[in-house]
Structure 1
Amino acid sequence: MSLPLTRRTVLIGAGLGATAAFVAGPAAALVADTATLRLRWRALLTGGDGIDTGDPDIAAAVERIGRTATGFLATLDTGAGRTALWPDLADPARSGHVTSSFSRLAKIALSWATPGTGHHAHEPTLRVVLDALDWMSAHRYGPALARYDNDWDWEIGAPIQLNDTMVLLHDVLGAERLARMTAAVHHYTPDPNLWRADRQIATGANRVWVCTVVALRAVLNGDGSALGEVRDALSDVRGGGANSVLAFQDGGAGGTGEGFYSDGSFLQHWKHPYNGGYGKELLNTLSKLLHLLAGSTWAVRDPAVDNVFRWVDEAFDPLMFRGDMMAAVCGREVARESKQGHAAAQPVIEATLRLAGADASRATHLTRLVKRWITEDTYRDFLKVTDLSSIVLARKALGSAAPAYPAPVLHRQYPRMDKAVHHRPGFGYAVSAYSTRIYNYESIQNENLRGWHLSDGMVLVYDGDLGHYSEDYWPTVDPHRLPGTTVERRALADGQDQRRVSGADWAGGAALPGTTLAAYGMDLRGLGTGLRALKSWFFVDDAIVCVGSGITGQDVETVLENRKLRDPQAVLTVNGAAVPGSPGTLTGVRWAHLAGTGGYVLAAPTRLRAVREPRTGRWKDINIKYGSATEITRTYLTLWLEHAAGTGYAYTQLPAASADRTAAWSAAPAAQVVAATGAVHAVASPGRHFLAANFWGAGRAVDLAADGPASVVTRRRGSATAVAVSDPTQKRDRVVVELFRPGLRVVRADPGVRVRALAGRIRITAETAGRHGATLTADLA
């Protein structure tokens, strides 16, 4: 049959391109037997043969594996009349208990298979595990048993753990038991392209998980045909590439749009930003799967596999600060105690270590990156928490001659998911917005019940307090007053208005490449209320100028800060004087400084509300599914402004700044608000060398004008002027900007940018159609 030339036919007939060579390996070394692949996966789990138990971190990991297994064995019910394996996993209506039961058995099996533990090759331990597996086959997980609750557990969670257990115990399972259990896996997860009981197309991380389940089942059964289906499913050959996990979702192939985008964004569940949730799991699981298939008959041959390396650089590195994954892209996982802050970065490091070992041409770059990630995180020691095989790879990376990269200094925007991040020496800064294109927050499966304002302009500052978002921030912070947000102070029900888009298109900004000068903003619309606020953030290196206007609604507040205090008595200084205790209402505030956090400079003397208070919460309050009922108390300092209808705000945030620097900025600001209307927000340096504006419609600010919605940043250095332009609405075909500075001419312009000199001004026309909010630039002189 002759097929038309499509992405599908290209993938079916693809030869091994140079970009994908690291996956397939040299042709002469092709592996055609599944037994080799099974042993390769076993080595991923156990660290492989000959690991150095004299290494203290490896010895500690081995001890940790044994200790974990001992704990689970102590509470495992081995009685003939049992109704569950563990008393705390006994609910026959909760599918998560099936996954957790298999997970505990996998950990016991790992201890049995790992030399150096007290259970290694221990016959009584083996008998207990085999008996427990048989009980699960008969009572919880088998073709004759009905599924219930969450499809993820039946098709992904449980079989992943069961497959690992079967790999670890393969030689002692017996043929009948192996056939029975792999048949159960195949029953629930038969196709690497589909999942759920109604056989939906699997996308994003779910597709990679399903592929991994099918691949391991195929390896255990010696099913080469299924391994070929797995390879093709990663590229979605069956669907013509529409839901390929390797290709960027803005490549025009169609599909659901779940996955990575070329700007580094990652979406899952249609429109939720999820780099630090599903995205990190996709990267980690895919790196294992590529490792499994490398150099084999079933190696991935899609050249788009090269994109995986771009993900590391663009979709993960900018979103991490000293080992902490920025919460704005972690979705509902912010409400999981086990996934706090630094824990979310661990899978990214593990995956990158595998990728560094897979491609010699990129090994040095990835090694330098991982070296920085591991060494700069002085809060959570990667070597103390990761698995054995990752410790081996990390030791190799840390011992290499390649120096760690320095801490990043950059500004990056993610227009496909309405997020922006800013890295400067000493701090990181993240802004979370949403629009007609992106959902506000996710609260499903009884998780993240109070994430109402996670995208209402939330600002999170990352600094030297590396445990700030990793020590119970989310269950104890006031969820009505997340920092940076403008909100109506009103009661909200758990999960209210989740998975909703905004009524406004305007969310995004522009940035000058190679600098930390940028503009960002959003047209905030309240869901089901009269709230509206035009919000802007202007990034001027170490300062962020925050502007709001046109605020409507009832009992509206803008939250400058809501900081969990490492020192409950951290000094709050206002206008140069220390304010003890819980201040209440402060009048005539020109500037404020919180010790250990930074400064806040008001554009004019302002009434500021402040409270220092202990707050008590439980993880179960925000996550019924996984949360602990233990009460936790943390002390917070909250600063906020109260708004009358039609008012606004203007203040500068100086993260990590001293009180002296805050006072100096107040006395002589290096950037000033020059427009704050319903048409335009703009900020300029005193000498006008820097001018940035967010245009909500046609308007003018100082010597800059736009014909409609736009974000514009300009900088003058000597005779050179750089201009950056974007369409944050992502709806306009072109943006026209005029700069009223005579005598300028174009030196360089991006494709799609035209520059024309007019009397007393220069006109810049940027073709923004199809750019999805990306910045376009021109250099003038």
Structure 2
Amino acid sequence: MATGTEKKHQEKLYIPKLKVNQLKLELFYEAGHGQVVFDNLSLREAGDKPSDDIKIASHYLEEQIVLPLNKHYLMEMADYHYQIAAESSNIVRVENGLLIPLAQGKTLLEVLDQEGQRVATVPVEILAAEDPQTTSLITKWCEVILGAENFDRSSPAMVALNQKLDDSVTKNLADLTKDQKSTYLWSDLADLHQSSHMTATCRRLEEMAKQVSSLASRYYQDKELIRLIKDKLAWLTLNYYHPQKDIEGKANWWDFEIGTPRAIVNTLAFIYPYVTQEEIKRYTKGISHFVPNPRQFRSTLVNPFKAIGGNLVDMGRVKIIEALLKHDKKALQDSIAALDTLFAFQPKGSRGEGFYEDGSYIDHTNVAYTGAYGNVLIDGLSQLVPLLQLLATSLDQQKLEVMTHWIEQAFLPLMVHGELMDMSRGRSISRENASSRQAALEALRGMLRLAEALPEQAKIRIKGKIKAVLAFHNQETILESLSSYYDMKLFKELLEDTTIQASPVKSYLSLFNQMDKLAYYNAEKDFAFALSMHSNKTLNFEAMNNENTRGWYTGDGMFYLYNSDLGHYSDRFWPTVNPLKMAGTTEAEVHREDVTIAYLKKLTNDYKEKAKEKAGMSTQQSSFVGAIKAGDKTALAVMDFQNWDRTVTAKKSWTILDDQIVFLGTAITSQTHQAVSTTIDQRKENPDNSYILFINGQETALTEEVLHRDDVTSLLLLSKDGQANIGYLFAKPTALALSRKVQSGCWSEINTNSNNKDLISQSFITISQTHSQASDSYAYTLLPNISKADFDKVCSEARIEVLRNDSKLQLIHDKKQGLLAVVKYNQAKEVVNGQLSLEKSGLYLYQKVGNDFKQLSFKALS
């Protein structure tokens, strides 16, 4: 064996799928350095092929019972009567088949059959109580993931949650198959070879275990339900989740290594007082096999990978709780130590997964995922933190500071008006029950738990910021979104704590350069602007598992404008928006295929490893993407854009100047001479606050019939209440196509896992500019939340000058602020404004001071 490692023995039952007379055994050692010795390899006949018949958990009369003082024991033989022998001392009590220890010592039980005949005498030994720390940690885990002890009958939300859980248990008990030979427990989860059905089955048992442990439940300490839970866990581990099982066919590694194990360990934690150590080891054999290493997934497959980010936290929720249940201190320490990598920022300029110091969060290799897998990370870690704090290995100051940084630099800047920006949520945007508002509450849930662990000053500061986001949700909605009494208690206490005031949100600019995103909030005008780009290091979009099938252009320079229309993105935007015309994007006007599993499979057959790229999921060849800022109201961003199939190119930039955002595009070219257009905007209308359109100052009717105008210098969408106005000012007369259309779609079109095929219809105003000539350009300014009077004034002032907009230079002059914003695309020397001599390619911001220009910010790009 290699130095420093331990011997490992594995025995596997090989069952040929077809008639086999030869086999080849290949040994793989792909990770690590040094020498590995494979020894004592043997093949031996195992006998007849194991029966495919379902195995039933058997019950045998106990020969003896050994139990610690803190546990209860449910007798094996439910039809027999157990009683304390006449000569026994006051060591135990027996209540309806449940043995309850009273003191340490030994005693005897008599076992009577249904006719009252004594069939056995069983020795009983009560040992000292288990390690109190282990027991308290398991209790704390149950408190964090449910918190039944926090139940308050005066809370409608808590009462409703308990009723919902009770009703679900009642229904699932009624629907449970009575057929002992059945291959499933519930008919709607009938194919347990499809691993998602296995996970869902285990979650139903977990739900039952929750109610068994909850004082408010009608099933509290229900011995028959406890027996059923244990029997069905045994059934699952005998038939579907055991070391001889392979992850193959319709099975997914996630279910075997995260979904099912989490449900099992949680179930055992809830019924911990009623399970023996022998039973725990039996029920967790599958976990030990499929998840042997707290730092690695797919260990039983040929392509294992390192556990990082949200998946690493999920691993921790499996391995840490498993170790506690099994009283395995070494495994506990190792599983906790495995989490250390979470608290290290990825190096600037690297391409690793995880958090970066600029607030970016990357997952799935190269996808911006703060609002999805980042949510999973802080949600899971925030559940583990209370346990870690009870251990000697509690979180040190550095780790607490890192968690504070995540909250304040990664998550809060992406929250506006109670929403979590969709550009950070990846394929989650296609889930009907996971709107941007719900995603925000999910993130806040983890943030509030983490805040409890922070030093007092940081705790109060962050709670004030959380309270500011919660102000956009009503208390009833907040509490109803929660699935534990523990979380309900935390949120209720915060909302009712008059000593913690909601922190006023000031203007801010967050540049997430490592994930090619930008978020800006203007406090005076109360709007937010978000920009979603991609580069050679980040993916344009991710479609996976039949989700986000039409996310094609969401990373191509799409912008989001958050104003007083709080439901613009959260209220069924994604199934009804035209996915070919995302706001701010420049694209070929071509048909696209929905990126489903079936479509990817077809492409895989044709293109192998290039399948995802052929489906449209790609990085750019260009690294000329990034942003700089000067203060909290001035920024410059650029994307030297090349579309997914390399047929459209454009040089796109955005300049934020306080309450105005300038959009420039140049060198727009189609390699295939297909029609190309830039979507100036595609705005969903609020039926209660619809828009009136003004073109060049004149009110203009807009219908479903496309309106073509070739002389547009200004557009104003004037909302009914005047609070959601949007102005567009063009640098020169521009030809535009405008329409107001009722667009229809359903959730199942963008997420085929959804059963909701109901057609949704919403009105959208679409404004686009067609690029019919080679190396075309566009130039316009977006003015959110501007009154009509102020817009008319801006139109006459011509405050912003576009001095250059070509393939070499994009140059903007803000005369009011004396600012110059420069995008330089090459290394050739350029003299700007007769004064500035620039050589390096990249982004420049200058402020005029007297007769000179002071450089405020620079970022080299190439």
TM-score normalized with structure 1 length: 0.83
Question: What CA distance in whole angstroms lies between the structure 2 residues aligned with 1:517 and 1:607?
Answer: 29
CA contact (8 A) 2:702 2:738 kept: no
1:708 paired residue number: 840
Q: Deviations over 1:217-244 (max 9, x none)?
A: 0111111111110121112xxxxxxxx1
Which of the residues 801, 805, 813 maps onto 1:676? 805
Q: 1:598 Cα deviation (Å)?
A: 1.8
- 2:385–2:453 CA contact under 8 A, matched in 1: no
Within the candidate set 404, 414, 439, 2:512 is matched to 414
Q: CA deviation at 1:260?
A: 0.5
After the TM superposition, which of the residue ranges 96-105 and 208-217 deviates more from structure 2? 96-105
1:584 equivalenced with 2:706 (yes/no): yes
| Residues 443, 451 of structure 1: 8 Å contact kept | yes
Cα offset, 1:548, TM superposition: 0.7
Q: Choose which of 390, 393, 397 in structure 1 pairs with 2:490.
A: 393
What CA deviation, in whole Å up to 9, does each residue of 1:262-304 have, x standing for no partner?
Answer: 1111111221111111111111211222221213134345844
Q: 1:162 & 1:100 partners in 2: Cα distance?
A: 11
Q: Give, in angstroms, the shift of residue 669 of structure 1.
A: 3.8
Question: What does 1:166-185 align with in structure 2 at a 5 Å threshold?
Answer: 166-185=268-287
Checking the alignment, whether the CA contact within 8 Å between 1:618 and 1:627 is kept in structure 2 is no
Summarize the alignment of residues 92-241 of structure 1 with structure 2, pairs less than 5 Å apart. 92-148=192-248, 149-196=251-298, 197-198=301-302, 199-235=304-340
For 1:604 and 1:573, locate their aligned partners in 2 and report how far apart those are by CA, in whole Å: 19
8 Å Cα contact 2:261-2:318 kept in structure 1: yes
Which residue matches 2:521?
423
Q: How does 1:251-650 map to 2 (within 5 A)?
A: 257-300=352-395, 303-361=398-456, 362-377=458-473, 381-386=477-482, 387-400=484-497, 401-425=499-523, 426-495=526-595, 496-513=614-631, 515-553=632-670, 554-567=674-687, 570-575=690-695, 576-587=698-709, 588-594=711-717, 595=719, 596=724, 598-626=726-754, 628-644=756-772, 645-650=774-779
**Partners of 2:553 and 2:312 in 1: CA distance:** 30
Identical-pair percentage: 27
CA displacement, residues 425-457 of structure 1 (integer Å, 9 cap, x when unaligned): 322111011111211111222322221111110
Shift of 1:98: 2.0
Distance (Å, rounded) in 2 between the aligned partners of 1:67 and 1:716: 69
Say if 1:37 and 1:293, in contact at 8 Å, map to a contact too: no
Amino acid at match of 1:36: S
Q: 2:516, 2:535 within 8 Å by CA — same for their partners in 1?
A: yes
Deviations 1:124-156 (A, max 9, x none): 544544443333223332223222332111101
SS at match of 2:433: helix
Deviations 1:615-649 (A, max 9, x none): 22232222234564343333322211111222111
C-alpha distance in structure 1 between counterparts of 2:527 and 2:440, whole Å? 17
Give the Cα–Cα distance (whole angstroms) in 1 for the partners of residues 178 and 529 of structure 2.
52
Counterpart secondary structure, 2:221: coil
Q: Is the partner of 1:286 in helix, strand or coil? A: helix
Which range moved further: 203-212 or 292-301?
292-301
More deviation, 463-472/153-162: 463-472
CA distance in 1 between partners of 2:487 and 2:475 (Å):
19
How many pairs are equivalent?
Answer: 691
CA contact (8 A) 2:145 2:383 kept: no
Q: Aligned equivalents of 1:497 and 1:708: distance in 2?
A: 36
277 and 655 in structure 1: CA distance in 2 versus 1, 3 angstrom threshold: same
The CA deviation string for residues 322-371 of structure 1, in whole angstroms up to 9 with x for no partner, is 22111111122222223221222223212221222112332111211221
Residues 627, 342 of structure 1: alpha-carbon distance in 2 compared, 3 angstrom cutoff: farther
Tell me the equivalent position of 2:152. 52
Q: Please tell me whether the aligned partners of residues 550 and 579 of structure 2 are also in contact (alpha carbons under 8 angstroms).
A: yes
8 A Cα contact 1:266 1:417, kept in partner: yes
Contact 1:506 1:728 in 2 (8 A): no
Q: Which runs of 5+ in 2 are unaligned?
A: 5-130, 596-613
Runs of 4+ in 1 over 6 A off after TM superposition: 717-721
Q: Secondary structure at the match of 1:502?
A: coil
Is residue 2:183 matched to residue 1:88? no
- For residues 476 and 352 of structure 2, the distance between their equivalents in structure 1, rounded to whole angstroms, comes to 34
Q: Name the CA shift for 1:655/1:512 in 2 (closer, same or farther; >3 Å).
A: same
C-alpha contact 2:639 2:651 (8 A) present in aligned 1: yes
CA distance in 1, matches of 2:348, 2:690: 50
Alpha-carbon separation, structure 2, partners of 1:64 and 1:716: 64
Aligned to 1:381, the other structure's residue is in SS state helix
Counterpart of 1:291, as a letter, is P
**Distance (Å, rounded) in 1 between the aligned partners of 2:262 and 2:791:** 53
Q: Does the Cα contact within 8 Å between 1:564 and 1:636 map onto a contact in 2?
A: yes
CA contact (8 A) 2:584 2:678 kept: yes
Letter in 2 for 1:274: Y
Cα deviation code 1:53-80 (max 9, x no counterpart)? 3233333333343344445445444443
2-side partners of 1:320 and 1:412: how far apart? 11
Cα RMSD between the aligned structures? 2.7
Q: Distance in 2 between matches of 1:353 and 1:227?
A: 26
Letter in 1 for 2:680: L
Deviation at 1:379, TM superposition (A): 10
| Structure 2 length-normalised TM | 0.76
Q: Max radius of gyration: which structure?
A: 2
Rounded to whole Å, the distance in 2 between the matches of 1:471 and 1:77 is 39
User: Which amino acid is the alignment partner of residue 383 of structure 1?
Assistant: L
Post-superposition offset of 1:670: 3.4
SS of the counterpart of 1:480?
coil
Specify whether residues 162 and 585 from structure 1 end up closer, same or farther in structure 2 by C-alpha distance, changes over 3 A only: same
Greater mean alpha carbon deviation, residues 533-542 or residues 715-724: 715-724
Question: Retained in 1: the 8 A contact 2:552–2:617?
Answer: no
CA–CA separation in structure 2 for the residues paired with 1:627 and 1:488: 32
Q: 1:543 to 1:379 in 2, by over 3 A?
A: farther
Letter in 2 for 1:392: K
Relative distance call for 1:604 and 1:473 in structure 2 (3 A) is: same
Structure 1 Cα separation of the partners of residues 486 and 391 of structure 2: 21
Residues 379 and 472 (structure 1 numbering): CA distance in 2 closer, same or farther, change over 3 Å?
farther
Structure 1 segments unaligned to the other structure (5+ residues): 4-30, 236-243, 732-781
